[in-house]
Amino acid sequence: MGLTWNVALVNGVQVVSHAGSMGGQTAVLALIPKLGMAFASMTNAAGGMEMNRALLEWFSQHVLHDEPQEPAWLTLRQDELVEYEGRYQVPGDRHSFRVTAHEGGLLFAFERGAGREVFDASDLWPPTRFVFHAQDRVTVRDWILKGMRFDFLRVDGLVHYLRAFSRIMVCQQKA
């Protein structure tokens, strides 16, 4: 099974990775089969996700010789941005995420709720900006999630889902 694994080419070398967090524990594992190498980092700190990302970036730059390049950001009109607005939630999770149009991009905010927990209270972060790097594809621009990439998924041309954190979130309510 290869569900929820990222597969990327870094300097022509395939890197298969997975990262996640739950209950204050964060981890990342990157496998580089061609080189017979792996990178792993696990933490139990509030800033663990940010630290894991920084360590993985260091590994990519110093071991895989990857030179990160800033993508060309897309600017969408307000009428295009409102297509993405809404409250997105993993079915059965008590928390949700509010997406709203904000200064030519989108703002992504955590919302507490009642019920079963998928995202732990220790996974909280402040509102962050999304910018588009391709049609229906965004990159997080702020804070602990900076650099993460998410996708909006459409059904019959309309936005219905947000794929983020290796999960599919359903748009429960349009803004």
pLDDT band at residue 71 using 50, 70 and 90 as cut-offs: confident
- Per-residue pLDDT, 36: 94
Per-residue pLDDT for 117 more than 60? Answer: no
Query: Per DSSP, what are the bridge partners of residue 150?
Result: 138
- Per-residue pLDDT, 153: 95
Question: Nearest CA to 146 among 126, 160, 162?
Answer: 126
Could you tell me the CA-to-CA distances from 128 to 2, 64, 159 in Å, in that order? Answer: 29, 29, 20
Tokens encoding 117: 């927990």
pLDDT in tens, 16-63: 988 877 777 888 899 999 999 999 999 987 678 778 888 888 998 898
**32 and 12 Cβ atoms separated by less than 8 Å:** no
Domain positions in the chain: 6-62, 78-173
- The pLDDT of 80-107, averaged and rounded, is 88
Cα 81 to Cα 154: distance, rounded to the nearest angstrom: 14
Listed in sequence order, the residues at least 6 apart from 148 whose beta carbon sits closer than 8 Å to its beta carbon are 139, 140, 164
Per-residue pLDDT for 1 more than 60? Answer: no
Q: What is the CATH number of domain 78-173?
A: 2.40.128
- Per-residue pLDDT, 138: 92
Least confident among 35-39, 114-118, 129-133, 157-161: 114-118
Tokens encoding 73: 């950001």
Higher-confidence residue of 125 and 105: namely 105
